[in-house]
Amino acid sequence: MKQLTRALIAVLIVSFILIITVNKLNAAQGYSGGNTLTIFNWGDYIDQDLIKRFEKETGIKVIYETFDSNEAMLTKIEQGGTSYDIAIPSEYAIDKMIKEDLLIPIDHSKVPNLKYIDPRFMDLSFDPNNDYSVPYFWGTVGIAYNKAMIGDIEITSWDDLWDPKFKNQILIVDGAREVMGMSLNSLGYSLNDTDEKHLIEAKEKLDLLTPNIKAIVGDEIRMLLENGEAGIGLVWSGVAQEIMWENEDVEYVVPEEGSNLWFDNMVIPKTSKNPEAAHQFINFMLDPEIAAQNTEYVGYSTPNKGALKYMDEEVISDDRFYPDEELTAKLEVYENLGKRMLAYYNDLFLEFKMHPK
């Protein structure tokens, strides 16, 4: 009898340990709703002190994971293996997620701090009425250039990059939309153009830029420009700002022909096990003081008009990163062009990358 009792106790202990272990694993993977919030965001794209503050104020435990591309984020959410409560994709990915029915509508009554978002950044083409997303950060694509390296030259337009005096001095990001968009804008076309004749024209113009290109690179473009490995770079505004913090010789300009206006917005995937906490978190991040603190940490431009009064005047008056309405009107948000047209953009970009120097 004693042996049977010991065996039963042993089984109970092992079962208890297994339950605890499984629960911990589930929580770590975001499978548990309850009092847990699982956030999926770009790397180094939030002040971690704010997560601790949210946990302290709400008692909700945050599990935080990162991705390095919209495509990687989409793949994980489409697979549905992890129950993310919040994700922060870019505009064209949001459009795709809406069309593929991957998102829960935002209940605006639970996000009263939405009133602080600048109306310019609401109701955009990728999410009319902001039914599914709330602005987090925004920015532009432009040109970073090192004044000490290229001499007394002021760059103002995309066309300037084709000047032969910049031979082997330009780094560009490895992105089909950004590079094809640059060429389309330089020709006076929309960066969402789908006219194949215009796209071929843009690709042929890119071929002419080849002698000036030093390299087509990924995230390392920041380090290379910081260290003066090249005089000019096609970059996102947030990257440019980080470079400028490290190298005071670097300047940033949004070209006069126009460029891309990008957004990263907060969304609630249908995988969410805790949409209530997701709404709480979104509203928390929209509080003006919270948004200001997060903006100072991340360095990108905030869409939160209420946050501006808590920020350094020198920062918010810098029209390189907070362009005025006249320039903003020239900027375009990337549209989801559909699989066939995106594949065509990628094919042309690949041909350009293979073009002999």
Residue 262 near residue 334, CB atoms below 8 Å: yes
Q: In terms of Cα–Cα distance, which of 188, 178, 300, 285 is closest to 237?
A: 300
User: What is the C-alpha separation between 5 and 182, in angstroms, rounded?
Assistant: 76
On whether the CB atoms of residues 214 and 230 are closer than 8 A, the answer is yes
Pairing of strands 261-266, 134-146: antiparallel
Phi/psi for 103 (5° steps) reads -120, 150
- Length of the chain measured in residues: 357
User: Angle CA(330)–CA(173)–CA(257) in degrees, nearest 5?
Assistant: 20
- What Cα–Cα distance (Å) separates residue 127 from each residue in 190, 203, 341? 20, 30, 20
Q: Is 300 annotated as a binding residue?
A: no
The annotated binding site for spermidine is made up of 92
The annotated binding site is made up of 92
